[in-house]
Amino acid sequence: MPKKQVRLDEKDVQILRSAQEDGRVPWAQLAREMGMSSPAILSRVRRLYKEGVIAGHTTVLNREALGYETVAYLFVSLASADAETLTAFREAVAAMPEVQEFVALTGEYEYMIRVVLPSPADVQTFVHTKLAKVAPLARVATSLATDEIKFTTNLPLA
């Protein structure tokens, strides 16, 4: 992850937009579309990797096609705030395959955890059989997504 914001020119932004839209586009094809040589594109892409702008590539799966019908947002406060408990909780939750997003918050709750599960009934089971076994929970508030209007991993580019 970059320590400072990386300066991007128009060509860098165009490469990044294309990569976000279709991560499988061949660099040679992109070079043709941008009126650049393949080595020039590859040089820029390598630099973007080196500078930490491009963090990797992945395949986005359709969760519903795989039986994950429920998206739940869990807002969690722990009963104990000692360093050992916090570290153990963070490491354990981050390793859970159902967890799609896990962030520390300011405000009423300490953490927000986005999970995908087969059914709404599985949310309670997840909280009681997995989450509560990791660390003592003070409070958990749960919200179920009723409609996923937008989901993206793309970042806005200037």
Residue 57 has a pLDDT of 87
> Exposed, middle or buried by CB within 10 Å (0-12, 13-18, 19+), for 115?
buried
**Interval 56-75: pLDDT, tens:** 988 889 999 999 999 999 99
Neighbours of 113 (CB within 10 A): 24
Same domain as 108, residue 80: yes
Residue 43 belongs to what domain range? 10-50
Is 24 a residue whose pLDDT tops 70? yes
Q: Is 20 a domain residue?
A: yes
**Interval 78-127: pLDDT, tens:** 998 899 999 999 999 999 999 999 999 999 999 999 999 999 999 999 99
Q: Specify the CATH number for the domain of residue 119.
A: 3.30.70.920
Same domain as 122, residue 88: yes
